[in-house]
A and B are shown apart, each in its own frame.
Chain A
Amino acid sequence: MNPRLKRFWSAQLALTPAWLIVIFAYIGTILWTVQISFTSSKVFPVSNYVGFAQYSRLFASDRWMISVNNLFIFGGLFIVGCLVIGFLLAVFLDQRIRAESMFRTIFLYPYALSFIVTGLVWQWTLNPTLGIQQTVRNWGFESFTFDWLTRGDRAIYVVALAGIWQSSGLVMAILLAGLRGVDGELWKAAKVDGIPTWRVYLHVVIPILAPMFVTATVLLATAVVKVYDLVVALTNGGPGISTEVPAKFVIEYLFQRQNLGLATAASTVMMITVLCVLAPWLYWQYFRQPRSAR
């Protein structure tokens, strides 16, 4: 066989599982989902097409609008919170401190826990009648109040807090690895020139770490769009519907409220949003400069 042909043949063969998955499990399911979203399907898919009726109902729905809003609040706080805390932890750990590995382990362990576990733990800790509020009151501060978990206007911040607790260790680990890659000469040079440490971090180190920040943001953003278990375990969407998120909306209308049409319309909207935001970025990141050599 022509070696050039063979080369592509074996590479394509090796990619067969990936192709099958992409074609059937990704593209096929997506098309199916989009198709259902234009029908009036309830428990089962039917082919009674209703145009954009499901979409107009979707955007008239309070629950959906709240879910979308929450996704932005949660996503913003979660990503920024994780990046800031993760970065601070990484920088502080990088100061030749004692017991570094102990601290590192402590900051990273929550990432090993599932969102289900994280949600349950914080639900117990922040339950006003059982957790921190009650404990502080027992210490004698009778009027101490920390009941955000039970307040419709604050509960989403608790969800973000639990998320940050779980994931900032990951950011710390990624950035710490990046910091270890920073040339030691840099610090000597900065010292000679008398530049304050914080300025070196701000103007030199952070730009060097930019790819690490991007990686971390990508990983965190993935978690944000998919957030489901955390909310289920921590608040189950409550109080009321104040901590609902889109993924939960989809699952609930898919299986419990028996409205496939609306559920698939919601997931289609999520998907299109993700595509619009990500496609340019992914292109820039991965396809802009094809690797010159082969």
Chain B
Amino acid sequence: MTSVDLAAGPSGPRPKRLTAGRVGLYAFLVIAALFFLIPLYVMIITSLKPMSEIRLGNLFALPSDPSFYAWAKAWSSACTGLNCDGIHVGMLNSVKILIPSVIVSISVGAVTGYALSFWRPKGSNFLFAVLLLGAFIPYQVFLYPLVRMLSIVSLYNSIPGVVFVHSIFGLPLMTLLFRNFYAGIPIDLFKAARVDGGGFWAIFLRLMLPLSTPIIVVAAILQITGIWNDFLFGLIFAGRENFPMTVQLNNIVNSSFGEKEYNVNMAATILTALVPLFVYFVSGRWFVRGIASGAVKG
């Protein structure tokens, strides 16, 4: 991951040697980095300590005798009520929810964005306006009617049900991303394809989709992290057997036996955060590049 991967190199003023300003700049960056890293550091070292050490309150001290006991417990035997299966059950559920949700929401968003930016059939302004507003309206407004609607079609408390809900609420952002991305593609390109006799789907599949890789990557990153990190929909729509990892995490953290086992809780927390963290570490440069290629520009 180097700066070469970015659309262009740094554009700031050319640096003068090592000046006081330069030192200040690095100092700022290092302090900021510490602020961003401290919580991660605390989580990791606490998860490696036994409870006897945590009680002393030396939050930043390195563990004197690091052990993975808490990790093992969080993964396979932490309890919620009588179920002591740890958090690994939730991981599989999260994957089962994640994959179809990401595929469906991006496909629908891409097609909708494409139709809205190039074709604009009747009513498309209205559709887009409602979608945009939908992005801002708190989910809470829709919850109760949705529970009732999904139960009518027997999707309530099932993985298809929760996938459906994720697709519904992912649509505004996905549409916005793709619409704006396609708005940046020269209209003449589209016109030329029309003159050549390309239809709706042909232009989409042969011309637009191959151009869309950067925005698809951005969309995928946003959806993967968003859906993995979701708590509310998983809790309400997935059903007990399909609880995603975040819901299980909250259950484990909030069911304490006597004393709160901070080490187990922190280990469970890190485990829950691993997938989105991995996605970011692997694709960080894509994320920035995707935005650079006109992704979300207003």
Q: Do chains A and B touch in the complex (CB under 8 A)?
A: yes
> Which residues in A have some Cβ–Cβ distance to B below 8 Å?
6-8, 10-12, 14-15, 17-19, 21-22, 24-30, 32-33, 36, 85, 88-89, 91-97, 100-101, 103-117, 120-122, 124-125, 129-132, 134-135, 137-138, 165, 169, 173-174, 176-177, 179-184, 187, 190-191, 197, 200, 211-212, 214-215, 218-219, 221-222, 225-226, 228-229, 232-233, 246-247, 250-251, 254, 260, 263-264, 267-268, 270-271, 274-275, 278-279, 282, 285-287, 291, 293-294
> Which residues in B have some Cβ–Cβ distance to A below 8 Å?
1-3, 5-15, 25-26, 28-29, 32-33, 35-40, 42-43, 46, 54, 56-60, 108, 111-112, 114-116, 119-122, 124-125, 127-146, 149, 167-168, 171, 175, 183, 187, 191, 199-201, 225, 228-232, 246, 249-250, 253, 262, 265-266, 269, 272-273, 276-277, 279-281, 284-285, 287-289, 291-292, 296-298
In the complex, the chain A residue whose C-beta lies closest to that of B32 is: A89
Q: Return chain A residues, CB-CB under 8 Å to B32.
A: 85, 89, 107
**Which residue of A15, A179, A294 contacts B11 across the interface (Cβ within 8 Å)?**
A179
User: How far is B15's CA from A5's CA once the two chains are assembled, in angstroms?
Assistant: 60
* B138 adjacent to A94 (CB under 8 Å): no
User: How far is B201's CA from A103's CA once the two chains are assembled, in angstroms?
Assistant: 43
Contact A117/B36 with A26-B130, A215-B296 known, Cβ cut-off 8 Å: no
User: How far is B141's CA from A88's CA once the two chains are assembled, in angstroms?
Assistant: 36
Contact A215/B298 with A254-B143, A271-B137 known, Cβ cut-off 8 Å: yes
- A-B CB pair tally, cutoff 8 Å: 321
* B131 adjacent to A97 (CB under 8 Å): no
User: How far is B11's CA from A132's CA once the two chains are assembled, in angstroms?
Assistant: 39
User: How far is B129's CA from A250's CA once the two chains are assembled, in angstroms?
Assistant: 25
* A29 adjacent to B12 (CB under 8 Å): no
* B121 adjacent to A250 (CB under 8 Å): no
**Which residue of A21, A94, A270 contacts B10 across the interface (Cβ within 8 Å)?**
A94
**Which residue of B9, B14, B272 contacts A187 across the interface (Cβ within 8 Å)?**
B14
In the complex, the chain B residue whose C-beta lies closest to that of A164 is: B35
Q: List 11 A-B contacts (CB under 8 A).
A: A14-B114, A25-B168, A29-B141, A30-B137, A85-B32, A94-B11, A117-B229, A121-B39, A177-B7, A222-B135, A274-B138
**Which residue of B9, B58, B146, B200 contacts A14 across the interface (Cβ within 8 Å)?**
B200
Q: Return chain B residues, CB-CB under 8 Å to A88.
A: 28
* A120 adjacent to B253 (CB under 8 Å): yes
In the complex, the chain A residue whose C-beta lies closest to that of B104 is: A17
In the complex, the chain A residue whose C-beta lies closest to that of B201 is: A10
* B142 adjacent to A29 (CB under 8 Å): yes
**Which residue of A26, A100, A293 contacts B142 across the interface (Cβ within 8 Å)?**
A26
Q: In the complex, what's the smallest C-beta–C-beta distance from B285 to chain A, in angstroms? A: 7
* B273 adjacent to A291 (CB under 8 Å): no
In the complex, the chain B residue whose C-beta lies closest to that of A30 is: B141
* A246 adjacent to B229 (CB under 8 Å): no
In the complex, the chain B residue whose C-beta lies closest to that of A180 is: B8
* B59 adjacent to A95 (CB under 8 Å): no
* B119 adjacent to A7 (CB under 8 Å): yes
Q: Return chain A residues, CB-CB under 8 Å to B59.
A: 125, 130-132, 134-135
